[in-house]
Amino acid sequence: MLEFNHYSVMLKESVDFIAPRKNGIYVDCTLGGGGHSLEILKRMGDSGRLIAVDRDEDAIRAASERLKNYKNITYIHDNYENIGEYIKDISKIDGAVMDLGVSSFQLDTAERGFSYMKTAPLDMRMNQTASKSAYDVVNGYTHGELCSILKRYGEEKQAKRIADRIVRAREDKPIETTTELAEIIKNAVGNSYDDKHPAKRTFQAIRIEVNDELGAIPKAIDSLVEKLSSGGVIAIISFHSLEDRIVKETLKKYEDGCTCPSGFPVCVCGFKKQLEILTRKPMLPSVCELEENSRSQSAKLRAARKIMEV
C-alpha cells in the first residue's frame, strides 16, 4: 500500500463551516490523503454523497484505500478547474472544501521533484501525466520568462540575478536535478534570506508555473458557487499570499454582486449578490496545530455561505 503521509490542516475548523448533514452532497476539490474527505464522510453518514477530486493519481490511489469502507464517494482524477463538468447534472451541492497547494506526501516524495532538499529529477508535476515539467521551465524558458515567473509567483526580489545564473549554467549543460538548481540559486543570492532557504521562493514559483496553480482557483470557485444550495458553505485553505488574494477577491465578487458603476440608476449587469463572507479576516491555525505541524504556519482559512438561489 502507498504510504501517504499528510497532516490535514485546519481540519475541524473547515469541516465545521461546511457542517455536513445527512443526505447532503459535498465536494472535496483537493482529496490529497483524504483527511478532509474522511471528516465529511463521517459526519454526513451513509445517505449523503461526496465527490472527491485530485489531479494526482497517487493521491487518488492512497485515499481510495484509506476510505475503502465508504461507498458513497466518487473519485475524480482531474484538475479541479473542471469541477463544473462533473457536477453539471447535479441539481445542487451542499458544501465544498478546497485545501490548496501541495500535500506533504508530494513534498516528501523525493522523486516527485518538489523539494530543494532532496536530489531528484526536476519534475514538480502534480499530475504525473501532464506534459510540462520543471525541467522544461528551467531549461526552456527565456531569461525574461524566468524573471517574470520568479517575480510574479515567487515574489522573489532577486529574480533577475537568479535568472542570470540559471541561463548561464544551462549554457554548459541542461540543469537536471532539484539540488543542482538549489545550488545555482544559493550561489546567485548567497545567504541573504535569514530564516528561509534561498531556493524556497524560486521553487514555489516554478511549481506554480508548472501546474498553473493560480488560474484554476477562480474557475473552481465559480463552478462551486453556481451549484451551492442556499445555506451551503464553501471553505478554502490557502498557503501563500498569492493564493489567499485570489480566494479573497473571488469570494468578494460574489458578496458584492452588481458590478455596474456607482452612478448607474439601475443595474444593467444582472450580477447578483450570492455569498455572505463568514470570515471577515481569514481564520488561522490554533497554537496547538502550529506546534504539531509546522507546515500549517502559513495557512489561512476563508469561508462563505450561499445566500440565495439563482
Summarize as ranges the residues that interact with ligand SAM (CB under 6 A).
Answer: 6, 8, 30, 32-36, 53-56, 59, 79-81, 99, 101-103, 126, 216
Rounded to whole angstroms, how far apart are CA atoms 302 and 243? 11
The least distance separating ligand SAM from the CB of residue 268, rounded to whole angstroms, comes to 34
The least distance separating ligand SAM from the CB of residue 67, rounded to whole angstroms, comes to 11
Rounded to whole angstroms, how far apart are CA atoms 208 and 152? 10
The least distance separating ligand SAM from the CB of residue 303, rounded to whole angstroms, comes to 15
Partner residues linked to 75 by β-bridges: 52
Which C-beta is closer to ligand SAM: that of 55 or that of 300?
Answer: 55
Which C-beta is closer to ligand SAM: that of 58 or that of 94?
Answer: 58
Rounded to whole angstroms, how far apart are CA atoms 128 and 58? 9
Rounded to whole angstroms, how far apart are CA atoms 237 and 251? 13
Which C-beta is closer to ligand SAM: that of 130 or that of 258?
Answer: 130
Which C-beta is closer to ligand SAM: that of 6 or that of 306?
Answer: 6
DSSP 96: E
Which C-beta is closer to ligand SAM: that of 54 or that of 244?
Answer: 54
Which C-beta is closer to ligand SAM: that of 24 or that of 34?
Answer: 34
Burial string for 131-170 (b: 16+ CB within 10 Å, else e) reads: eebbbebbbebeeeebbbbbbebbebebbbbbbebbeebe
The least distance separating ligand SAM from the CB of residue 163, rounded to whole angstroms, comes to 26
The least distance separating ligand SAM from the CB of residue 288, rounded to whole angstroms, comes to 17
The least distance separating ligand SAM from the CB of residue 204, rounded to whole angstroms, comes to 14
Cα three-residue angle 243-253-149, rounded to 5 degrees = 30
Residue from 107, 12, 9 nearest 58 by CA: 107
